[in-house]
Structure 1
């Protein structure tokens, strides 16, 4: 299957608009952002004393294994286990504060411009956008809000007395993502057959098969082969661009369009007045 460029995918998102209430489900790590959201805030956690330098090294090693391992089940499980061990005893409110205060510094530079364009295309077509991630909800929720998403699905860590226990109440991974999507669809009235999903990971096959329009992003060989079997479009995201820069580009483009419209209106007004002034 030939790769479909993101611009073409954005046009396709518009063309598939339907009256049915559909949604677009986006994996987060290596699909919307070019890194692991779970470890992107390590600098802030270290500065506040939640992480030691030793645990930072262990977390970095787990992330490296994840990034180089093709995000398969084994590498994702290693990352999950490492993070679960790391956060035992952490104060939940402190974590939320660090994520909120360092959100733009940690996440902004890693966001794929192509993903932002697709999110905007789906919202313009009247679809809800849902971020679906195996990372914890305290991390995923503010990122989803920053991206303008309508909802999110994330891992829920067990909490006792305001602190993480190291246990996991719900792990948003593999088949669990599909289960959560179906539950959300039932609650919000989404037509999954008319909906879209995007992911870089072969472990998200259940999520991709749960919707009518699956797309794979920057796939490795195994995921590309699976995409060919299922007829999923293949997208290539290459441009991590800070959201603030994208916002500036949007404002500049919008300003240029409005200026052009203004010129056309003025010229039309001038032409009408000129014609009215001609003798009959």
Structure 2
């Protein structure tokens, strides 16, 4: 990890909306949300996309989600996210974010997603993006695998920065060599925890802070589908296929030679 780590916020940094609110409709279809809650989530999503969310709004959303999911099996939520991830989120990924993550990987840096979203949402999304490490909100689960109506870890504000420092200790990382990307002033502790803070599509308060501190400001505006993104990647020369074909041909010729020799050596 000598090259450092790149820590990415998820919502409005990698994807164009709130990952948690994006799953309101699938939850409604599965009978886990009422229609009134669905409409409120849709309104919240619209406001979030336009103006972002302060810590108070995020805490309200947290409390609502915790109460709504109490008693629901955690495995059911994970399955639902896996089943609908292509439909819900894949078209909302910023192409610029994918490019940036790839640049960090080529530079030898690990990529970590740090999100206020529940693990059940953040981990499948991260896997979809080829990211293996996630810091996200964890709900308490009872002995029967149902949500207990409280949180074990809330990945917001200073908690994100604390989790990053713990990970840095476990991986023996120098945080001065690390990068962090976020859109929200609520992630200021996370940005301040690393040597290279970068703001992406910042809210008004974070934009002002970035100007005052001379932090780079990036504007992402190119949502792409992962399917189209994969189709755009250059196709590798099929070395493996050619090699496999050569082996088959060589084996066939060798087998023919051995049979011919046996026929020649066989007594009349």
Query: What are the residue-to-residue correspondences of 1:54-93 with 2, within 5 Å?
Result: 54-93=36-75
Distance 1:120 1:51 in 2: 37
Displacement of 1:224 after TM fit? 1.3
Displacement of 1:102 after TM fit? 0.9
- Tell me the equivalent position of 1:171: 154
1:106 aligns with 2:88: yes
- Tell me the equivalent position of 1:28: 10
Give the root-mean-square deviation of aligned CA atoms: 1.7
Residues 65/90 of structure 1: CA separation in 2 closer, same or farther (3 Å cut): farther
Distance 1:211 1:64 in 2: 31
SS at match of 2:151: strand
Distance 1:44 1:222 in 2: 33
Runs of 4+ in 1 over 6 A off after TM superposition: none
Query: What are the residue-to-residue correspondences of 1:192-271 with 2, within 5 Å?
Result: 192-251=175-234
Residues 150/189 of structure 1: CA separation in 2 closer, same or farther (3 Å cut): farther
Answer with 1 or 2: which has the greater Rg: 2
Could you list the per-position Cα deviations for residues 157-189 of structure 1 after superposition, in whole angstroms to 9, with x for gaps in the alignment? 111121112211110000000000001111122
More displaced stretch, 202-211 vs 49-58? 49-58
Gaps of 5+ in 1: 1-18, 259-280
Taking structure 2 as the reference length, the TM-score comes to 0.84
Displacement of 1:90 after TM fit? 1.5
SS at match of 1:45: helix
Could you list the per-position Cα deviations for residues 73-110 of structure 1 after superposition, in whole angstroms to 9, with x for gaps in the alignment? 12222222222222122111111111111111111000
Residues 90/65 of structure 1: CA separation in 2 closer, same or farther (3 Å cut): farther
Could you list the per-position Cα deviations for residues 39-75 of structure 1 after superposition, in whole angstroms to 9, with x for gaps in the alignment? 2122221222112212212322333343344322122
Residues 40/70 of structure 1: CA separation in 2 closer, same or farther (3 Å cut): closer
Distance 1:33 1:119 in 2: 13
SS at match of 2:233: helix
More displaced stretch, 233-242 vs 38-47? 38-47
- Contact 1:66–1:79 at 8 Å: present in 2 too? no
Could you list the per-position Cα deviations for residues 211-270 of structure 1 after superposition, in whole angstroms to 9, with x for gaps in the alignment? 000000111332111112332100000001101111111136x67xx9xxxxxxxxxxxx
- Tell me the equivalent position of 1:262: none
Gaps of 5+ in 2: 240-268
Aligned length in residues: 237
Distance 1:151 1:231 in 2: 29
Distance 1:68 1:80 in 2: 20
